Structure 1
């Protein structure tokens, strides 16, 4: 029960709650239960219960998209969400199990946590949600993000919680993880808060359009002309010399079917010194057949200037695994636009108003290595989303918080445009400079600063931190403590 409770505390450190002090408390309590485990099998169970609490509460909002917009009855949506949480929780069961096998050291525990979080981010397309380091985006420790990204922040968070437990239990070599934690935290506090990047030109005006079209009517045929009118009316009064952004699937028709309307909007803005970047579905015809993409298009004076097709698709939302077997079983597997094909990794970034824009559609912004790789020649980051799928739940707030850390990691401004919020402009330090309220139709006016240069995390990615984690695992095993069972 303590392991389950400790896991339930974990999401409270994240948005929209923001009780960051609970992060080391949750991790520390989880590590405490690991110390008390009587066998590796017992440790596995405790770790799984910890993960079940973490994700059972942390991603409970998934049932909103299933029930409210996926036509799945509540009695089915809730168990489906629970099953998903139970499967993801196995990563933490494995973390606890291997930690017990290796001697229950805080060093090995922290190293294994980072390694298995990394695996969770790519295995079977990955689920890179609720990494511990994201909760630290508004703390001084976020200064470490340009060095090691969310991985270094996660390592610090886990070491912080676990080393305190070792000290309280007066275990042998407890000073070593504590000293490492203090050194990393002190380094973050003393490090000058200056980015590794630099301004590469004058500030640029930008307008992010938030259409706020309810998800339950968005994909209806009757909304096609209405959707065009909404975005056309919101865009018309935007001043000259402005980069205009429309969100993910702003248009619900394929570009090939409405390119006249889209190109006209881009030309009208270009005639006033501006440009348009919009999310929309895309249809490709080839000898191999027809494929569909969730895409972002850059539109200029002469029409289409570039297009990016989303690479990281959401299982069951944008594509259906083993669709020949399960499509049609329940309505959720037949959601609108659930037959997309992923784009190729080699796609170039977009260009608009002389700037190179690194584009990411919704879920993609959660992949730190993908963002770091595509940011090398970019002046800014852009992510578009449609978080209307998750209503008034915690999901959109968690998504926004995690996206902000990408700006810190890359030292670049991030523009985030969504259908119904959270639409915002974030600077290179991950700080929100402007934002629109959720569930309101409107336009967010602001500016961004183009930047160039590379942070250490952009250069080296997770590689050094996986190596450090492996060293910590080995060192933790070599210096494994003698565990007391009376505390």
Structure 2
């Protein structure tokens, strides 16, 4: 169990800021070797749970900063909370390895069918389930480590969870090297990598209209000052000045750069921004909470165009314990000094913001961790977006790996959709990501500045936009069917030999 937890913990090295993506494959290979031995489902389940526990602690330990530094929770209680989260997260990998071993015994599977078909499918399904159950928490899914590997070429087809299955197949190929079928295993591994590398040269989308100029603001407002009445006026002045510093086709601020409701702002504040938009031809998008009633308010971004058009996007995938309190957990929230409430969810499909030739679709904070929801918006909108915009505030998590990991998630969304992603954040990572998932410009983290760039929007639909995770799920179903047939043939061969 300890070795399994350490192997899972090592996966941290596969993600940013380390980006040693082969480590994730090696870690899974170790896990698959352990459960690949003719072991019981119970042992496989426990080893899988230990692996998932270590994986979760490594990938999500940054939550400790928010809970202790900004939530005021005692360190032992915060550590216990992180451990309990890891206990829960470990259950998904435990179900993957336990279910795979149970199927192996029930279907009398030969080793290749078990390693190359059943285990990867179960691993992929466990990550997919983790991404939606109880609103989902897909952070540190294995596919995210491969935005820079040859496997990135598969993202526009099967998405991050499909890449997770391929990671598992590669790990299984390494385990197969301990068997007699070394050459076929090496051939399969090489073919997967080569095909993925070749797919990176496929252009699934094409340029739309003329590029636009963008200015992405990073205010670097300290989290302990952001909501403090003594510092709010200073932040309002800061962002007003950063917006007015220079014109651009699109100027975007981070999430809740304006922390007050419109009716609480100094007189003329928003009117002044609208006048700047009109006088300079700039389109503005700014993070602000918006209320529809005294009891209904949303984490929103608002926009204004030079012709007076206004825009609103409401965050629809809310953060548990951050933007809504799950039933039965009010006691946990009461332990923290963070002022939390229940926000109103936005619609699943919302219109993009027209900026000259481009259509810009915002997403707020960790909404960009849910690729299928973004794909749904792109294929369902009458006027699909040509570029994406993430506005975030990760100052809650200090100088942790949360910032580079979040940037990596945004890169995967660009790969899946074939569209550039703009990121305007409070303290990082403010960046421009092109349609191939490459960071073309960025600001240093934990600094104040403005990122200026020219960005080309893209049109067209990747297979992932058209089908979301359906192709990945169909792949897993086909793998299970093929394994069952192989098991049936294996049983018949053994019975004839007997």
* 1:124-139 to 2 correspondences below 5 Å: 124-139=134-149
CA distance in 1, matches of 2:124, 2:248: 45
- In 2, Cα distance between the equivalents of 1:352 and 1:263? 20
| TM-score normalised to structure 1 length | 0.92
Name the counterpart of 1:36.
Answer: 37
Shift of 1:388: 0.4
1:439-450 matches, within 5 Å, as: 439-450=446-457
Select the residue among 197, 215, 221 that pairs with 2:205: 197
What aligned pairs does 1:2-401 form with structure 2 within 5 A after superposition? Answer: 2-36=3-37, 38-103=39-104, 104-170=114-180, 180-191=188-199, 193-238=201-246, 240-258=247-265, 260-285=268-293, 290-301=295-306, 305-322=310-327, 325-326=330-331, 329-332=334-337, 335-376=338-379, 377-401=384-408
Matched-pair contact (CA < 8 Å) for 1:156–1:185:
no
Report the alpha carbon displacement of residue 302 of structure 1 after superposing the two structures with TM: 5.8
* CA shift digits 1:398-437 (9 cap, x unpaired): 1111111111111111100100111000100011111000
Q: After superposing the two structures, state which structure 1 stretch, 209-218 or 314-323, moved more.
A: 314-323
Query: Does residue 403 of the first structure (1) align with residue 403 of the second (2)?
Result: no
Partner deviation per Cα, 1:415-470 (whole Å, 9 max, x = no partner): 00100111000100011111000111111111110111111111111112111112
Kindly indicate whether the alpha-carbon contact (under 8 Å) linking 1:310 and 1:342 is maintained by their aligned counterparts in 2.
yes
- Partner of 2:496 in structure 1? none
Instruction: Say whether the 8 Å CA contact 2:376–2:465 is kept in structure 1.
Output: yes
CA gap 1:327/1:33 in 2 versus in 1, 3 angstroms:
closer
- Matched-pair contact (CA < 8 Å) for 2:225–2:232: no
Q: Secondary structure of 2:295's partner?
A: strand
Deviation at residue 83 of structure 1 after TM alignment: 0.5
Higher helix proportion: 2
- Alignment partners' CA distance in 2, 1:6 and 1:331: 33
Range that drifts further, 367-376 or 64-73: 367-376
Count of residues in correspondence between the two structures: 474
8 Å contact kept, 2:282–2:306: no
Q: Name the counterpart of 1:485.
A: none
In the TM superposition, 1:467-482 aligns within 5 A as 467-479=474-486
Point out the more displaced range, 311-320 or 137-146.
Answer: 137-146
Deviations 1:133-159 (A, max 9, x none): 111101232122112121221121110
Contact conserved, 1:106 with 1:162, CA < 8 A, in 2?
A: yes
The range that moved more, 183-192 or 290-299, is: 183-192
2:420–2:457 CA contact under 8 A, matched in 1? yes
Inter-CA distance 69–116: structure 2 relative to 1 (3 Å threshold): same
**Superposition deviation, residue 254 in structure 1:** 1.2
Kept after mapping to 2: 8 A contact 1:414/1:427:
yes
Instruction: Give yes or no for contact 2:29–2:174 (8 Å, CA) kept in 1.
Output: yes
* Alpha-carbon distance, 1:192 to partner: 6.0
Q: Is the 8 A contact 1:243 1:276 kept in 2?
A: yes
Q: 5+ unaligned residues in a row in structure 2: which ranges?
A: 105-113, 492-498
Q: Secondary structure at the match of 1:382?
A: strand
1:292, CA displacement in angstroms?
1.3
Distance 1:37 1:400, change over 3 A: farther
**1:340: how far off?**
1.2
Q: Distance in 1 between matches of 2:57 and 2:449?
A: 34
Structure 1 range deviating more: 187-196 or 423-432 = 187-196
Q: What is the rounded CA distance, in whole Å, between the counterparts of 1:192 and 1:55 in structure 2? A: 30
Give unpaired runs (5+ residues) of structure 1.
Answer: 483-487
Cα distance change on mapping 1:166 and 1:477 into 2, 3 Å: farther
1:428 equivalent in alignment to 2:438: no
Partner of 2:495: none
- For residue 477 of structure 1, report the CA deviation from its aligned partner: 4.2
CA contact (8 A) 1:108 1:477 kept: no
1:165 and 1:177 map into 2 onto residues whose CA distance is: 9
Whole-angstrom distance in 1 between the partners of 2:308 and 2:400: 38
The whole-number CA distance in structure 1 between the counterparts of 2:273 and 2:341 is 28
Deviations 1:378-397 (A, max 9, x none): 11000000010110011111
2:59–2:139 contact (8 Å) kept in structure 1: no
**Closer/same/farther in 2, CA of residues 9 and 265 from structure 1, 3 Å limit:** same
